[in-house]
Structure formats: structure tokens, C-alpha cells
Structure 1
Amino acid sequence: MSKTLVEKIWDAHVVKSETGFPDILYIDTHFIHEVTSPQAFDGLRKRGLPVFRPKQTIATADHNVPTLNQHLPIKEELSRYQVDMLTKNCAEFGIELYGLGHPFQGIVHVIGPELGITQPGATIVCGDSHTSTHGAFGSIAFGIGTSQVEQVMATQCLLQQKPKTMKIEVNGQLGLGVTSKDIILYIISQISAAGGTGYFIEYAGSAITSLSMEARMTICNMSIEMGARGGLIAPDQITFDYLKGREFSPKGEDWNKAVAKWQTLYSDADAQFDRVLKFNAEDIEPMITYGTNPGMGMGISAHIPATQAQPESEQLSYQKALDYMGFEDDALLIGKPVDYVFIGSCTNSRIEDLREVAEFVKDKRKAENVEVWIVPGSKQVEKQAKEEGLDKVFEQAGFQLREPGCSACLGMNEDKIPAGKYCVSTSNRNFEGRQGPNARTLLVSPLTAAAAAVTGKITDVRELLEKIES
């Protein structure tokens, strides 16, 4: 019987399945961090249970960590408490922790792939919605709640309903200044922030398979932003080349055996998906959000859609979003002054993102009205950026290269955007208060963020790129 890639991986991990009940799904790798793990550890403690397979649980500190002076005690009391509890819990339960000061520390969805822990065909979970990032390697990866974190710790299994499957094809060649972040923002703008609800999405098509692994991670990362359970891309030679030689990738003959197995991970030609969507890469331009959910996005040269054009049931919330952002119907965002530019988060903080920004801003300076934060996704990314001299480029441009962490993606640490200020951000969510109380977030690609940084306003990066090329 023909199967989709999701079905192949899922069926290979089902421990028990009974009609009318969720499947018992075996979990290969469990990532944890300081925010969603404390209650799970307390639950085990109260029941006198150990972590069933501690070697398959990997911990790091990322959400609450400061991105300046990480060698000093954390200033915020709650943040310090959560990071300290993670350290204590990992020591007590025998879990490897990549905490502050460790060379492998970083955002959980950045360190898994770069260390070779994330591998094709695996089931991967974390108490974090953007676990879908790991699906770029052809794995079933999804976020779970705190009670489920405890369930995996205790049993290495989860009770899960098998999801529906959706295939999203993007074919064609991307235009100048258009990146993987623009692809995913475009898809979400077309199908809405709820368009993927109930589905596990497989991304395919020539525009997807031509992407690097880091770009594929950006695509899968934001699957959750359209309501999907997760997203994945079939592994190929680009995947294998990325993984080869990494810290925890298979070595020697084990590598050959692993690749032979990974090469079987694809959807059969006649596999049936519950839904199929197709898009043309040529229709995508640099994207920007204008509202308070990721579905409120548009091409950067477009005008904000009118409230009256929305379904009647959504007009009140739509107008509320525009009021919060300080925008009006039919407005053009190009030329709008901005206050902050944040380049980071589990969506766009990898070395490829930093290289792209550095290449664009070389010999340029940031605008006087803008504060720019570059936050690498891990200590390894930070180290590599410095080895390549990217830190010097950023310094000369007036950008601040900070230390690894989730940073201004969410207002859970010291890196908050002040109330009322506009932040052009490479992160994944633009909810009210996401980057700090009453902060206003506009989601973009690293290239579009860099353009805003040097001009001080929302800018169509294609205009600057055309000048560079001419």
C-alpha cells in the first residue's frame, strides 16, 4: 500500500494502535528547556519515577537567558529561577544539559540540527511549538504540552491521534530578494493562520528542494503559524551532506547504513494526501506582516487590505489588529519609520542568516533612528560568525552582536521592545505583546530586516539589491 512520508515514519513508531483510541507513539528524541520542563520534573518526583531513557533527552537553556554578559548572574528573578531549576533537575535525573557557558548551548531548535542530533525518520518532540523546525530533515517533529513532557520522560512514548496529511508544493524560481522566510509568510497569508489546522504538512516542489537545509528549517519552523501540527521535507543529498561529520551524526559504517535507510524516506508517487495545495515561486515577493497574527501578511509593495474586504465575522478583530499596529486600510508600508530591527530566533538565527545579512550590510551603516540586535542561535553560530569576521562587519555597521538565546522573539527575558515601538523582526510571531507589552512587530526575512536597518524605514530590499547589481 502506498504511503506518504508522514505515514511511513508514524507507522514505524506506533507501539500500539486500537480503533477509537490514540496511538501509542514511540519518541526517539526529546528536547527540553527551562520553561516547560519544571512541572514535568515535579510530576516525576511526586510519583517516584525516573526519566525512563535519559540518554534520549537533551536539555538547553534558551528562552529566559540574557543575551548580554551571560557570564554574570541572570538579573530577572523568574528567569534566573527557571534556569537554575533546569540545572538542578537535569543533575538529579541524569540528563545532559547544554547550559550557559557550554559550547553547545543555544536555542533548542538550532542546536539539535547543527549537532547532528536531529536525523531523518525520527520522531522528535519538545515542550515548544516550533519543534516543527526539525521536520526539515524528514522527521516527525512537533511541540507538546507540559503534561506530555512528563509522559515522554516517564515512558518515552506519547498518546497521539494520527494527523491528516497535506502536501504543499512550491514550484519555480524565486525572484531577487525572495527567501525561504518569504515563501512561508506567503503561504500563511494565502491559507490563513488556521489553514493547516489538523494537518501534518509535507513541503515539496522545485522551489523547496533547491533550498539549503537552513532555509528548509525556516519553512518547517513556521508550519505551526498556519495551525499545522508540524511540517516536514523529504531528505535528500542536501540533507545528507549537511549532517555528515556533525558531532552526533553516525560515523563510519553506521553512516553508510543510516544513509541507506534515509534514502527510503519519501512519499510514494501515488500516495494519497488529504489535501494538496500548489503555489508558484514567481508569485512571491519579499513579504511583511501588518497585523497581529502571521496570516496578516502581504507582499512588501502591496497595500494593507481593507477591513470591509474581510469576512463580516472577522472585521472587528481585523480592525482591532490594525488599531494596535497603528495602521489604516489601504496603507502602503514602504517608507514607514521603524525603531528596532531584530535578527534572530529559531526561525532565522543560523550562520547562513548571519552571512546573508553581513554580505548585504558590508560597508553600510545603520540609520540613526534604529537599534539593531543580531542574536545568533547558538554558541557554535556565534563562534563561527566571529571566525568568519562577521562580527566586524556588524560592528562597523553599528549592529549589536549579542550572545545566543531566544531574545526578542518573545518578552520572556531582558530583551524586550518598548511599548509602542515598531520592530522589524525575523522571528515567527507578531501577536500583541509578543516582543514586550504593547510592542508592534512586523515579521520579515533577514534580507528585508537588513534593508530596514540601513534605511531606518520599511524598504523593498529589491531596490537596494538592484543598485548593488547594477
Structure 2
Amino acid sequence: MTAERAHRTLYDKVVDAHCVRALDADVGLVLLYIDRTVLNEYTSPQAFSGLRHAKRKVWRPDAALGVVDHVNPTAAGRTRAMPDAGGQLQADYFAQNCSDFGIELFDVLHPMQGIEHVVMPELGAILPGMTVAAGDSHTTTYGAFGALGFGIGTSDIEHYLATQTVVYRRLKNMRVNLNGPRPPGVTAKDIVMALIRKIGAAGATGYAIEFSGDGLSSLSVEGRMTMCNMAVECGARGALSAPDTAVFDYIAGKPRAPKGQLWACALEAWRALRSDPGAVFDAEIDLPLRDIEPMVTWGTSPDQAGPVSALVPDPKEIGDANKRRDCERALAYMGLSPGQPLASIKIDRAFIGSCTNARIEDLREAAAVLRGKRVAPNVRAMIVPGSSSVRRQAEAEGLDAVFKNAGFEWRQSGCSMCLAMNDDVLAPEERCASSTNRNFEGRQGARGRTHLMSPAMVAAAAIAGRIADVRATDVSHGR
């Protein structure tokens, strides 16, 4: 080990522990062992076709889980039939592939079905120190457990399935220090949106982020998942935080977590999963939590955001020519005017869901805002739980009644309107308050307009019929 790596970051420790072979030291290219993957019907077909063509087997079928989550409809009456012929073909081919290659499958009628990045943690399938590669960029979610999760392409999925490894380029290390107490109404979603706004959509390109600082301990494990999930929106290909007692308690008792003596041994190893005191980071970002307000996007990139108390920016006041053009294009697409208060923007739709914000704590926070209130007459509002398990738990707690009494549609689990791959889509120029992760042009439907915010903020917007400050309601919570 070189002198400069005598004190290692958490990211370096995980990569070092899984390095099978150095391929090109000059550029940090290694052959990396991958502990687990989760597959879906949308990003896996070509990989399986490649295996079939080459007559290869899956090296470790037990290390993979298949979940149908992208193309399935979320209406209350659920069958295996897909409304779209292409989606049906994908689901059928996925089922055939999982059967032929010996991979466990949670299809749309399975009691544990849900969005892949919600299902894996609730199973206890994600453990501290693991490497997890999957065909979805938001695999970074698993960093909340001290695991290294990252998205891979179709050819890499095929390579992984055949060899349990991927060719991987080491990343630089960035530490994001979350300092101080959180103000009322500020959630993990607001924190990560504030980070993305601060450093830009490409600010962490080439880096793995480690979330640290005294403010981290105030966030639940589900809140940390939200932050790691959206770290990819500022360019990071990995995001981690050191596992602590909250993480260990979250995992304990999960169906596939270690038991008995294995659990005791695992805890001993997991407690060492943290950056060494003398570890050097390539970049450091300080994020004082006291300065953060509930956030909302106004543009067509997650970094085009501001506090809900702010105004729509004026492109004329932006000095950088490229950013000015981006702002002008975004405002034209979104149909907004410079100087318009964000809290005055009327909405047509309200959506709570996605792998970012559809866990039980997200639903509890939304219900706290909605209890005893009604959705504005002009707003169609829907809640899509992150998994069938989350849906059952919410119903056991009576949250579904709160949502339905408020005028929200209570739907089945799936990716749904996050990426408009099924029948949950925005109509052209419909404006949506959304708890999802991306507000790109057309992301939720052709010419649809998306404003990202926390689930509690979505609930507040649904009641007001416009973007609203959740702190102005009589309930203000935050994870």
C-alpha cells in the first residue's frame, strides 16, 4: 500500500476488499467482484440474450433477484396482463429468463413485488460492505448501508451474470459534511436537492460521495437512502455513509439478514466500515443544514432548484452564457416567468412514489400533512407505494384511509409516473408536484412539467392546488 493510501476512505476499503485484479493502475481500472444484483424487465433482456447466444450460464443465480417494476400498471385491480404489448413482451421474456437461468423472480402478483431499490433493503439483502451493481443508475441507494451500489449497462450486466465481476474504474473521493441541526420541515430530500443545487448536475462526476458530519445521525436510514439515491443527480457514481446503530437496527430481523452467530460476526466486521481518521478526500463540501429550506425545482434538471420561498430566476442575471441558455430553455419548457414566486405556481397533478420517496416513512409524512384535509378540486393526486410490503404496512396503520379521504388515489406498487413507462403519465403541459428524482423534459410524459420536492411538500401542494410551503401547514415533519 502506498503512503498516500495508508489511511483509507470507506469507499476505498470496500473497493479494495472486492478487487479481484488490477487491470490498468494508471487509470484505476480493476476487475471488481460483485456480491449481489437486482434485475428488472426493462434493462436485462439484451444481457440474457447475450448469455443465450454464447451458451453461458449464470455464475451465481442465488446472488441475483428479479423484480418486475418498470412497465407494470399500478391501478388497484392488478393482473399479470400489461396494457402495452411491448411491456407484456418484456415481462414475459423476463419471466422466461429467470426460470431458465435459475433466478428468483418477484413478478407483479408476488406478495413482495415492488420497486427494486425498495425491495432489496426491506428483504435484508443489502448489507454493509457489499458491492451491488444493477442496471439502474439509482443503485446508489444502497450506500445508506455502507454498501457500494452503482448502475451498469447491459453489456456489464451480461458480464456480471457470467462471471460475478465487472470491469470497474476507481472513483475519486468526495466528502459531504452535513453540519448542525435540521430546521423544521426540512427532510433528507431537501438536503440532497440543496447539495445538487450547490455543486451542479455534474459537480460530483468522477467521484464517490461519502455523507458525513454530525447532521447525518439525525436522518433515518430511509432518509439516507433518499440522499444516496439522488446523489447520482449531481454526477456521483457511488454514494455511501458509514453504517451505525441505526443501520444495524434497520437490518436486524429482516428475512434475509444474517442470524445468530453470523449476525454477531457480521456486526463486528461492520463496525470497522468507516473512513480512517487520517483519510484524505479529493474534494470536501460543507453543507450547513440550518441554511436549508424545503426545496422545489423550477427547471428541467435537478440542479435547477431553489427554496420554496424563492422566486423563479431571471436568465438575464446569470453571468455564465451556457447556464443562461439552459435557464431560458427550461423556463420556456416549464411555462414560467422570471420573478414569479415558486409558491404561486399552480399544479394539475400530485405524485408520491418512486425509488426515492415511496417508503413507509415517506407515506407517514405525507399522511401527517393530509390528515383531515382535501385535495384541491383541480388536482389529480396519486400515491404509489414503493413495494407491496409498504402498501400492506400503510394499510395496517390506516394511512390508506387518510389518503383516500383526502382525495388521493391509492395504487399498487411500481415505478409508475417516475418515468412514464406505463399508463401513469402526464398529459402535455400538465404540471406535477412530484416526489421523484428527475425532472427532465418528457420524463413523466411528453411535454409534461415536473417539479421535484419531498413527499410532505407534494401533499401540501395537492391541498393548496399550487406549490406550497409545508411549514405553513399545521403539521411540519422531517426525516
Q: Which interval holds the TM-score relative to the shorter structure?
A: over 0.9
Residue deviations 1:227-282 (CA, integer Å, cap 9, x gap): 11111111000000000000100001111111111000000111001101101101
| 1:376 corresponding residue in structure 2 | 385
Code of the aligned partner of 1:49: R
User: Please, which of 214, 224, 246 is the counterpart of residue 254 of structure 2?
Assistant: 246
| Deviating more after overlay: 6-15 vs 453-462 | 453-462
Contact 1:197/1:226 (<8 A) preserved: yes
Q: Deviations over 1:159-189 (max 9, x none)?
A: 1111101000111111111100000000101
1:262 aligns with 2:270: yes
1:59 to 59, 63, 66: 66
Q: Secondary structure at the match of 1:423?
A: strand
- Inter-partner Cα distance in structure 2 for 1:72 and 1:363: 36
Match of 1:405 in 2: 414
Equivalences for 1:139-150 in 2 at 5 Å? 139-150=147-158
Would you say the 8 A contact 1:177–1:465 is kept in 2? Answer: no
Q: Which residue does 1:426 correspond to in 2?
A: 435
The superposition leaves residues 190-236 of structure 1 with CA deviations (integer Å, 9 ceiling, x where unpaired) of 11111010000000112222211100000000011001111111100
Paired positions, count: 468
Aligned match of 1:458: 467
Q: Does 1:48 align with 2:38?
A: no
CA RMSD, Structure 1 to Structure 2 (Å):
1.2
Q: Is residue 359 of structure 2 the alignment partner of residue 350 of structure 1? A: yes
Is 1:273–2:278 an aligned residue pair? no
Q: How does 1:30-45 map to 2 (within 5 A)?
A: 30-45=37-52
Q: Deviations over 1:433-452 (max 9, x none)?
A: 00000000000001110101
Alignment check: 8 A CA contact 1:185 1:287 kept: yes
Distance 1:26 1:467 in 2: 44
Q: Deviations over 1:86-118 (max 9, x none)?
A: 101100110000111111110000001111001
Aligned to 1:283: 291
Q: Provide the rounded CA distance (Å) in 2 between the counterparts of 1:364 and 1:207.
A: 32
The match for 1:13 among 4, 18, 43 is 18
1:114 aligns to what SS in structure 2?
helix
Secondary structure of the structure 1 residue equivalent to 2:474: helix
Q: Which moved more, 1:339-348 or 1:357-366?
A: 357-366
- Give the corresponding residue for 2:313: 305
Following the alignment from structure 2 to structure 1, what is the Cα–Cα distance between the partners of residues 431 and 214? 35
| More deviation, 243-252/332-341 | 332-341
Which of 232, 236, 255 aligns to 2:240? It is 232
**Counterpart position of 1:396:** 405
**Out of 371, 376, 384, which is 1:367 matched to?**
376
Of the structure 1 ranges 75-84 and 25-34, higher mean CA displacement relative to structure 2 is found in 75-84
Q: Is the 8 A contact 2:184 2:476 kept in 1?
A: no
Percent of aligned positions with the same letter in both sequences?
A: 46
> What SS does the aligned partner of 1:465 have?
coil
Query: Aligned partners of 1:144 and 1:367: how far apart in 2?
Result: 41
Instruction: Give the Cα separation in 2 of the matches to 1:389 and 1:318.
Output: 43
- How far is the alpha carbon of 1:429 from its aligned partner? 0.1
Matched, 1:339 2:348: yes
SS in structure 2 of the partner of residue 55 of structure 1: helix
* CA–CA separation in structure 2 for the residues paired with 1:455 and 1:321: 24
Shift of residue 72 of structure 1? Answer: 5.2
Query: Are the structure 2 counterparts of residues 47 and 466 from structure 1 closer, same or farther at C-alpha, using a change threshold of 3 Å?
Result: closer
Aligned-pair CA distance for 1:467: 9.3
Partner Cα separation in structure 2 for residue 348 and residue 123 of structure 1: 23
Aligned pairs for 1:290-329 within 5 A: 290-310=298-318, 311-329=320-338
Contact 1:27 / 1:123 at 8 angstroms: preserved in 2?
Answer: yes
Aligned partner (choices 36, 50, 54) of residue 29 of structure 1: 36
Q: Distance in 2 between matches of 1:467 and 1:229?
A: 33
Which amino acid is 1:232 matched to? Answer: L
The structural deviation recorded for 1:386 is 0.8
Q: Which amino acid aligns with 1:329?
A: P
Equivalent position SS for 2:310: coil
Q: Which one of the candidate residues 197, 200, 205 is aligned to 1:197?
A: 205
Question: Whole-Å Cα distance in 1 between the matches of residues 277 and 379 of structure 2?
Answer: 50
The one-letter amino acid paired with 1:402 is R
Give the counterpart of 1:3 among 8, 16, 30: 8
**What is the identity, as a one-letter code, of the residue corresponding to 1:116?**
G
Tell me the distance in 2 between the aligned counterparts of 1:391 and 1:254. Answer: 38
Match of 2:222 in 1: 214
5 Å-filtered alignment, 1:80-159, equals: 80-159=88-167
Q: Secondary structure at the match of 2:356?
A: coil
What is the rounded CA distance, in whole Å, between the counterparts of 2:95 and 2:78 in structure 1?
Answer: 15
Letter in 2 for 1:50: K
The structural deviation recorded for 1:306 is 1.8
Q: Distance in 1 between matches of 2:262 and 2:340?
A: 57
User: How big is the shift at 1:344?
Assistant: 0.3
Cα distance, 1:465 vs. partner? 3.3
> Equivalent residue for 1:163?
171
Write the distance in 2 (CA, Å) between the matches of 1:318 and 1:89.
45
CA shift digits 1:16-58 (9 cap, x unpaired): 0142462000000011101110000000000000011111011
3-state SS of the aligned residue for 1:441? Answer: strand
1:449 equivalent in alignment to 2:458: yes
User: CA separation in 1, counterparts of 2:203 and 2:422?
Assistant: 31
- Cα distance in 1, alignment partners of residues 426 and 323 from structure 2: 28
- Give the whole-Å Cα distance in 1 for the aligned partners of 2:38 and 2:173: 24
Q: Distance in 1 between matches of 2:203 and 2:403?
A: 38
Shift of residue 330 of structure 1? 2.1
**Displacement of 1:77:** 1.0
Which amino acid in 2 is paired with 1:348? N
Q: What letter is aligned with 2:405? A: Q
Q: Secondary structure at the match of 1:234?
A: coil
| Partner in structure 2 of residue 185 of structure 1 | 193
Preserved contact between residue 171 and residue 206 of structure 2 (Cα < 8 Å): yes
Q: 1:435 aligns with which of 421, 424, 444?
A: 444
